[in-house]
Amino acid sequence: MVLSFFLLQSSSPSNPILGFLPLILIFGIFYFLLFLPMQRQKKQQQKMLSELKNGDMVTTSGGIVGSIVSINADDTVILRVKPDNIKLQVARSAVSALVTPESGK
């Protein structure tokens, strides 16, 4: 009796779309939790790089903090690094963030 019950359940046809539904749901969750925020962050980074101007304090991906002296046509930036006012030429894409002056200091 129990064996025939299991045989009846396993032989019933199922919708093939229901088999892919968990996979589609997982892909949707990954898109909204991972890919969409990464795309937004990339757009913000590109916007920040395009709006750089002389005098901005920036941090490079290597951790160097300096102020922009000039921006060259070949997508390089010349930074003045304190305390010795050394000038470094770095790629514009190496700039990772703008340094905002703290209001308390």
Could you tell me the pTM of the whole model? 0.67
pLDDT at 68: 96
pLDDT at 79: 96
Give me the sign of the Cα torsion angle 40, 42, 43, 49: positive
Q: What is the mean pLDDT of the chain?
A: 85
Residue ranges covered by each domain of the chain:
15-51, 53-98
| Banded pLDDT at 20 (limits 50, 70, 90) | confident
Burial string for 27-50 (b: 16+ CB within 10 Å, else e) reads eeeeeeeeeeeeeeeeeeeeeebe
What CATH fold (topology level) applies to the domain 53-98?
A: SH3 type barrels. (2.30.30)
| Banded pLDDT at 11 (limits 50, 70, 90) | very low
Assess contact for 41 and 65: CB atoms under 8 A.
no
